[in-house]
Amino acid sequence: MALFGTDGIRGLANRDLTAELALDVAVAAAHILVETNTDKSHRPTAIVGQDSRASGEFLEAAVVAGLTSAGVDVYRVGVLPTPAVAHLVAESGADLGVMISASHNPMPDNGIKLFSRGGGKLDDAIEAAIEARIGEPWERPTGRGVGRAINDESARERYISHLLSSVSTPLKGLKIVVDCANGASSTVAPETYRRAGAEVISIFDAPDGWNINEDCGSTHLHQLRTAVIREGADFGIAHDGDADRALAVDAQGNEVDGDVIMTILAKGFKASGSLKANTIVATVMSNLGFFHAMKNADINVETTAVGDRYVLEKMIEKDYSLGGEQSGHLIMREFATTGDGILTALALAQEVVKSGQTLQELASAMVRFPQVLVNVKNVAKERLADSAAIKTAVLAAEAKLGEHGRVLLRASGTEPLVRVMVEAQSDNLASEIANDLAKVVQTELG
């Protein structure tokens, strides 16, 4: 099985993702860096950050040890959001960024995300090259050849200043609740929203190493919903553990997911003339209601495979300015090279202020279609594209739904299963068709 998934390396910390593996990955990455470094006047440099998991402490130590032992100077930025590391790599001209985080996963997990020069995620070829070179024999530098590890005390403030540079409309008059998921946004998000002009109530902003994502954050919106209603706030923002995504709830406690946020921002970008090519990039998993909303707004949509890295690749290829995922990963290329939940929340809040409408009113531009997802497990997913019976069943389902529904079958990238997703005008119809298709998949591929 490949070491790298769609978003770096991830697994159970100290069992799947060990200090030894973290060190080996860092060394292999350093070798790639040294070999591709065209400016021999200075040693390669790396930015290393982490979220608030206790396991991040030993994994960060291993990564720093691996990089410096291979001759890379490391700037440690401590607990900061993933997009902060990406920004700091771009801002400083560093050769590599390493973020130790498992994002929205439970606390026992952890992960390693790598960023290339300029702050973008590594492409598949570089990841494959790093994986291939893990454990290879190498000549270790000595003396002045080893790298240094420096604590970068100014990183947090530089990132906050960058975030605030995106604010052209002050948030004065807004009352916002922010759920920091006891994660990396805890020391950044509340402060940033306050400096932008909002009144801020922060919850789950006291990480202790163990409580990240625990019944809070973007995967547990009920906590934010309760707080927004209790405080009489205009809306609430929920981040995940590393703050690369943002979801919201309006003043009535209704969820505002990534598709709805994309709808609001796309319309706002278009009105301000900043939606390049009048196009937004989304993944195939965005709700059909999003596509209808974009059609109604006369905005084009380009779709990609699931994963914000694929969204960004399309945005760079076509020079688009806005893209994202239903999960709340949104990319605004004017300000970021990856999904940034705090930037997303700032942009959303500005649309509320500029429009003079409530978040609930803005969100009404998209009407969500009922969506049912069925995972068909333990099947030969590699045969999915070749099954004539499955193709016939999908065509029949699509004919039954017409323009008022959608079918998507997708092989999992990490597990032996096929995901069957159906959207329809009613939950009952979506469930009926999804279950029927799942039976066909099980029969043909089981």
**Residue 192: which of 259, 152, 225, 239 has the closest Cα?**
239
Distance CA 391, CA 165 (A): 50
Q: Residue 418's beta-bridge partner residues?
A: 376, 411
| Measured distance between the N- and C-terminal CA atoms of the chain, rounded to whole angstroms | 21
Burial of 105 (0-12, 13-18, 19+ CB in 10 A): buried
Pairing of strands 109-115, 149-151: unpaired
Token readout for 276 is 């390049």
d(CA 233, CA 259) in angstroms, rounded, equals: 22
3-class DSSP state of 336: coil
What b/e sequence results for 321-331 when a residue is b if at least 16 CB atoms lie within 10 Å of its CB, and e otherwise? bbbbbbbbbbb
**What gap in Å lies between CA 151 and CA 440, rounded to an integer?**
56
Rounded distance, CA 95 to CA 113, Å?
14
CB 76 within 8 A of CB 64: yes
Distance of alpha carbon 94 from alpha carbon 406, whole angstroms: 44
Return all residues near 393 (Cβ < 8 A) that are at least 6 apart.
436, 437, 440
Dihedral sign for Cα atoms in the order 192, 184, 180, 241: positive
Catalytic residue chosen out of the listed positions 52, 55, 101, 103: 103
Is 186 marked active-site?
A: no
Pairing of strands 246-250, 279-283: unpaired
Helix orientation angle between 341-355 and 258-272, rounded to the nearest 10 degrees = 60
Q: Which of 46, 42, 27 is nearest to 97 (CA)?
A: 46
CA dist., res. 202 & res. 182, Å (int): 10
Residues labelled as active-site residues: 103
